Structures are given as C-alpha cells and as structure tokens.
C-alpha cells in the first residue's frame, strides 16, 4: 500500500470512530448500535496500522487474493446488518400496531365506558349529542 493510501485509510477510520463517539455522546445513537460501528472502526484502524495483517489472515484462511477476503467480510457484515434491521423493524411495526389499537380502544372507552363499566363523568351536553343507544 502506498503511503498516501495508508494515510487516507488511517484518517478515515479515526474519523469514523470519532464521529460515532460524538453521536453517542449527543444521545442520537443508542449505545448498542454504536458498539457495532465502533467495532468496524477498530477493524479498519487495525488494517490501516498494520497493512500486512490482511495478507496474513488471507494466507491463513487459504484465500489467494486478500482484497477478496476483505470484500467478502464486508458483504457478510452488511447482510447480517440488513437482516437484523428487518427483524428490528418487524418488531417495531408490531408494537406500533398494538399501540395504535390501544389508543383507539382507550379513546372509545373514554367516550363510552360500555356495559358493566362505571359511566364516566361526562358533562350533560356531551352525553346528549351521542345517539349511541340507537342500536342497543
């Protein structure tokens, strides 16, 4: 690796780590996600510090072209990340749905406590303009 490329990677990785730490300190990024990206930052920084590291690892794994190993690792990481986010999103959607139902049901209950429940203390005008008894 040329000296310029080396410096560029070093600056980029340090910049990434600082950026993530800044996000966490401002409370924008949850710590559990920061851990993920910090790990990546450390990885890249290690590569920048010891350029021969990738070659050594690739050699040990029997990969003849080291950059291919780097790309494969990156893709595997992004894939796992995307699946994780889909999972997280599914869970969120489920929770949002339940909350939406909860809000709607609570609002209905406020308007009309229903059979068996104590009648809410509504103003006279409010109870008058509800033709709800029509179907009872």
Partner 1 sequence: MDAVAHCVVVIPAFNEELSLPAVLAELRRVVPELDVVVVNDGSADKTERVATEGGATVVSLPFNLGIGGALRAGFRYAVEHGYERAVQFDADGQHDAGQIQNLLRGLDDGADMVIGNRFGSGSDYAVGQTRGLAMGLLRFLTRRLAGKHFTDTSSGFRAVQGSLLERFARDYPVEYMDSVETLISSCRAGFDVREVDTVMHQRAGGQPSNRSFRLLYNYARLLVVIGTSGLRRRAT
Residue from 10, 29, 112, 122 in contact with partner 1 (CB under 8 A): 112
CA dist., res. 55 & res. 68, Å (int):
11
| C-beta of 74 vs 113, nearer to partner 1 | 113
CA dist., res. 4 & res. 47, Å (int):
15
41, 16 contact by CB (below 8 A): yes
Q: Which region, judged by CB under 8 A, interacts with partner 1, from 40-48, 61-69, 79-87, 109-117?
A: 109-117
Compute the least distance from the CB of residue 5 to partner 1, in Å. Answer: 45
CA atoms lying within 13 Å on the CB side of residue 48: 18
Residue from 5, 103, 110, 120 in contact with partner 1 (CB under 8 A): 103
Residue from 59, 88, 101, 126 in contact with partner 1 (CB under 8 A): 101
> Residue 97, interface with partner 1 (CB under 8 A)?
yes
């Amino acid at each position: 690796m040329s000296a310029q490329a080396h410096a560029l990677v070093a600056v980029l990785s340090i910049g990434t780590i600082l950026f993530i730490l800044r996000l966490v300190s401002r409370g924008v990024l949850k710590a559990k996600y920061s851990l993920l990206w910090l790990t990546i930052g450390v990885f890249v920084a290690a590569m920048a510090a010891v350029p021969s590291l990738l070659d050594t690892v690739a050699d040990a794994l029997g990969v003849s072209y080291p950059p291919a190993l780097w790309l494969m690792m990156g893709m595997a990481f992004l894939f796992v990340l995307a699946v994780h986010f889909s999972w997280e999103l599914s869970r969120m959607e489920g929770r949002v749905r339940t909350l939406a139902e909860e809000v709607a049901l609570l609002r209905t209950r406020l308007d009309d406590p229903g059979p068996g429940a104590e009648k809410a203390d509504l103003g006279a005008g409010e109870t008058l303009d509800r033709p709800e008894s029509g179907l009872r």
